[in-house]
Amino acid sequence: MESKQDLPKKMVAELLGTMGLVIAVMGSVMLAMNSLSGLPGFVVAGAAGGFVLFAMIESLGKISGGHFNPAVTTAMIVSKDIDAKNGLFYMIAQFIGGLVGALLVLVMFYQSPGPVDSFFVGILSTTPDWLLYHAISEFLCVFMLVIVVFCCVRSGSKYTSLAVGATVGGMIMCTASTFYANPAVDLARIFSNGGDQISIVTAIVFMIMAFIAAVVASLVMSWLYPKASSS
């Protein structure tokens, strides 16, 4: 039986994992813009995001389960793989981790507009920079991610971290929205000062699509691949 004292450790693990993921996807775009001219940012972000997410799950997954994504945690709540109270604390840690990661990227890639200016650009912008196909893309991305997570966990795969990292990295490079697919990343990207910055309107739309997709995917997978009976 889990101790209540385990929850703070799990929250820190989720914070660090989400922070690492945000640094990878946002920092790689900034690096591509500043130093890797000619190389598409989504290619660099796909490689960086996939590799770093693999490393984060492999290193921190034993502590918290390696969600690093409020949508994945939502799916786990719906399937009763985690209780709602702990899930809420997971999500709080994930959102904080995403914001810390965004701040660190802004500090590392300090340029004009600087971090202070950039922190207000996305918040003040009410002009949506998404189209219907971006919203559909985000739904598909989260749906596929949850399917991969569920199938790997339910089957007891030894390659869950690799499969999830490959899914994220690959779909960044082949989807219309470039696979934000993570409400914590959506929030963090409001504060980006690079080409991956999104408006608060877009972030809200992407978050809504992510949570809807997580619930739908969880219900589908709970029927398709139910948990083994403990009896």
Query: Of 12, 11, 55, 47, which Cα lies nearest the Cα of 27?
Result: 47
DSSP 80: T
Cα–Cα distance for residue pair 47/42, rounded to 1 Å: 9
Q: State the pLDDT at residue 45.
A: 81
pLDDT: which is higher, 112 or 188: 188
Summarize the confidence of residues 50-59 as an average pLDDT: 95
Q: State the pLDDT at residue 116.
A: 45
Q: State the pLDDT at residue 201.
A: 86
Question: Minimum mean pLDDT among 2-11, 127-136, 167-176, 183-192: which range?
Answer: 127-136
Summarize the confidence of residues 147-174 as an average pLDDT: 93
Output the six-digit token pair for 69: 């994504």
- Tokens 């490079």 sit on residue: 173
Q: State the pLDDT at residue 106.
A: 83
Identity (one letter) of the amino acid at 184? A
Distances (CA, A) of 143 to 29, 57, 214: 24, 19, 6
Cα–Cα distance for residue pair 204/37, rounded to 1 Å: 31
Contact 72, 179 (CB under 8 A): no
Summarize the confidence of residues 111-115 as an average pLDDT: 49
Q: pTM (2 decimals)?
A: 0.88
Q: Which CATH number fits domain 6-222: 1.10.150.530, 3.40.50.2000, 1.20.1080.10, 3.40.50.300?
A: 1.20.1080.10
Summarize the confidence of residues 223-227 as an average pLDDT: 87
Could you tell me how far CA 30 lies from the centroid of its own chain? Answer: 18
Output the six-digit token pair for 66: 């390696």
The domain limits of the chain are: 6-222
pLDDT range class, residue 111, cuts 50, 70, 90 = low
